[in-house]
Amino acid sequence: MDATPDNDEAAAVRARYARRAGLGDRYHPLLVNVLLARQQRERALCALLRAHAGFDLAALRVTEVGCGHGDNLLELLRLGFAPAHLTGIELLAERHAQARERLPAATRLVLGNAVEADVVPGSQDIVLQSTVFSSLLDDAFQQRLAGAMWRWLRPGGAVLWYDFAFDNPRNPDVRGVPLARVRALFPQGRIQARRVTLAPPLARAAVRAHPALHRLLDVLPWLRTHRLCWIAKPESSEQGVRS
């Protein structure tokens, strides 16, 4: 591998994810706190899609940066997106292989560094990232990736963003991405943002007491650790941010 800054950060990301292998089943989908968090996020996602994309989801072209095992793309398929209009990009070979096994053959999957991915500029209606940027500790690499994502979007398209808003003091391999940083990464974007996902340590403690306690605490936005953003690319030269 060439010793370029992008490849250096890609190698660092591989090492960070290798260290997370010891987490075991903490994020298994059958866990009550994981299930409740996914349901809450899906409700928020559906609200954004209703407001900005309408109901003809099968016509939209979507690329996901860091598609992992394919969970998010499977969710989009279930909501009505067309397999042939979905693309997933994954840096880690094992995750790419698992996604390939799970997703329809019509869905394009790309193995490699997303900054270098062959995506036609202006071809995508939505570019999705879920907890990718919080795993990138190099600011310049973050900016290059954001620039690539923005180029892929057609005018009027949007980046769909889900990520940690705050640092995790127990995990030096991740760094929260505050809204000010999102604005800096996409300075031309019109941003609609909302807080989602009850803080995971609090969520795990709550469900040990009773699942209803999780739902009660989740009502309070300041206990949520992630942001879900719709970052719209202007149809013209008009620019602006709202949150």
Structural domains in the chain (count): 1
pLDDT value at position 1? Answer: 43
Task: Decide if 129 is inside a domain.
Answer: yes
Return d(Cα 39, Cα 125) in angstroms, integer: 24
Task: Decide if 242 is inside a domain.
Answer: no
CATH of residue 165's domain is 3.40.50.150
Task: Decide if 60 is inside a domain.
Answer: yes
Task: Decide if 78 is inside a domain.
Answer: yes
Paired residues of 64 in beta bridges: 88, 128
pLDDT of the chain, 243 residues: tens digit per residue: 455 666 678 888 777 777 666 556 778 889 999 999 999 999 999 999 999 999 999 999 999 999 999 999 999 999 999 999 999 999 999 999 999 999 999 999 999 999 999 999 999 999 999 999 999 999 999 999 999 999 999 999 999 999 999 998 888 889 999 999 999 999 999 999 999 999 999 999 999 999 999 999 999 999 999 999 999 999 975 444 443
Asked if 33 contacts 214 with a C-beta cutoff of 8 angstroms, the reply is: yes
Domain that includes residue 63, residue range: 5-232
Asked if 119 contacts 67 with a C-beta cutoff of 8 angstroms, the reply is: no
pLDDT value at position 25? Answer: 73
Structure-block tokens of residue 163? 């990520």
pLDDT value at position 240? Answer: 44
Q: Report pTM.
A: 0.90
Task: Decide if 37 is inside a domain.
Answer: yes
The one-letter amino acid code at 61 reads R
pLDDT value at position 4? Answer: 62
Return d(Cα 212, Cα 179) in angstroms, integer: 30
Question: Strand (E) positions, 51-210?
Answer: 62-65, 86-90, 108-111, 124-130, 153-164, 190-198
pLDDT value at position 24? Answer: 61
pLDDT value at position 16? Answer: 75
Task: Decide if 156 is inside a domain.
Answer: yes
Task: Decide if 28 is inside a domain.
Answer: yes
Task: Decide if 108 is inside a domain.
Answer: yes
Nearest Cα to Cα of residue 61 among 2, 7, 126: 126
- 143-158 as b/e: b if 16+ CB within 10 A: ebbbebbbebbbeebb
